[in-house]
Amino acid sequence: MLITTTERIPGKDYEIIGEVFGVTTQSKNMFKDIGASFKTIVGGEIKAYSEMLEESRQIAIERLKDNASEMGADAIVMMRFDTGTIGTDMQTVVAYGTAVKYV
């Protein structure tokens, strides 16, 4: 399924089906959290959390595709990500966009 951040798909005519979403909330284990706490003292990238967010984005995209497929969509336009924190150790990633059907 084509997913694009643009409003138009060149060379395609389509009708809008509706909004679609893919959501996931992830957390690292206690040992990774402790390591991240030490890293805040010296600064720099916390690779465990970068990896967690990359994995979360991929999961959110897969769920976005599943949501669009269930609606009978051929593509998703205007895809975006949103992220948030729950508590001190959980991250939520939402992929959202507009499902469309080719005409």
Give pLDDT tens digits for 64-91.
Answer: 999 999 999 999 999 999 999 887 778 8
Residue 86 CA neighbour count, 13 Å, CB half? 9
Q: Tokens standing for 36?
A: 């991240």
How much is the pTM?
0.83
Please check the confidence at residue 51 and state whether its pLDDT lies above 80. yes
pLDDT band at 60 (very low <50, low <70, confident <90, very high): very high
Q: What is the predicted pLDDT for the residue at 27? A: 84
Q: Which CATH number do you get for residue 6?
A: 3.30.110.70
Domain range for 91: 2-102
Q: How many domains would you assign to the chain? A: 1
